[in-house]
Structures are given as C-alpha cells and as structure tokens.
Amino acid sequence: MSSLQIIQDHDKWRKGTGGAPAGLAGESDGNVYLGLDLGLITFTSSTFKSSRFGTTSFVDAVWTACRFTGCSFSRCDMQRIKVSGCSFVGCTFAASQLRASSFSDCTFSHCNLISLNFDASHWSQVKLLDCRGQQVSAADLVGEQVDFTGSRFEDMQFTNARIN
C-alpha cells in the first residue's frame, strides 16, 4: 500500500469515517496533505522529500529515524509530538504549534522556523545548523546539548527556558 493511501486511511480513522490506525515504516513520500488529522500516527525509518503538510494535526504522533528533505509544515498542530533520530534538511515550519513536544537526537539543517511555539517542550541533542528563525517563542523549554551553529533567529521570546 502506498504512503499516500496509508496516511489517508489514518485520517479517515481519526475522523470516524472508516480507515484504520496507521503508521509508515520504511516508506518514501513526496505528497501534499491538507487538513488531515494524523494524530497518533507513527513514522519510522521513512523518507519524505518535498512533502507538504498544511493545517494538519500531528498531536501525539511519534516519528523515529526519519529523513525530511525540502518539506513544509504550515499551520500544523504538533502538540505533544515525539521526534527522535530524525533529520530535517531545507524544511520550513511555519505558524505551527509544538507545545509539549519532544525532540531528541535530531538535526535541522538549513531550515526555516517561522511563528512557532515550543512551550513546555524538551530538546535533547538537537542540532539547528545554519537555520533561520523568526517569532519563535517558548515558555519552560528545556534543552540539553543544543547546537545553534550558524543559525540566526530574530524576535525570539523565551521565558524560563533552560538550554544547555
């Protein structure tokens, strides 16, 4: 079954219109997804190239050992998402909610982070390399071994953040 079909079936299951709970493992994807509910979905060892996610919910999703290249996430609800061992290259995250999210052993390279909220989130061994950011906010963000090498951020608002 294609990654597109698996993702669409998960959305149907979440909306109570059929489908089934799903996860991607070892899949490749490059599709456009708008207005989906992908809460609780798992992505494992999958590759996403130029995938686009708009107004999509990833609440309580789990992503492990995935690679995202040239992907965009716009107006997504990513509260409580757990991301580990993933890499993001040339991706854009815009106007999205990442409250209470967890990122561990992840690398963001040449990414754009615009109008994001990381309240009560946790970062461990996260690299933000040559990234650009605007209007990134967080209250009570905890970060351990976070590397911002070459990155530039404007209008950041961190309150009670503990990084490194």
Give 23's Cβ-side CA count (13 Å radius): 14
Q: What is the CATH number of domain 25-163?
A: 2.160.20
Confidence band, pLDDT 50/70/90 cuts, at residue 1: confident
What is the number of other CB atoms lying within 10 angstroms of the CB of residue 84? 16
End-to-end CA distance of the chain: 43
Q: Please state whether the predicted TM-score (pTM) of the whole model is above 0.95.
A: yes
100 pLDDT band, cuts 50/70/90, is very high
Q: Work out the pLDDT band at 115, boundaries 50, 70, 90.
A: very high
User: Residue written as tokens 């909610």?
Assistant: 97
pLDDT at position 22 is 86
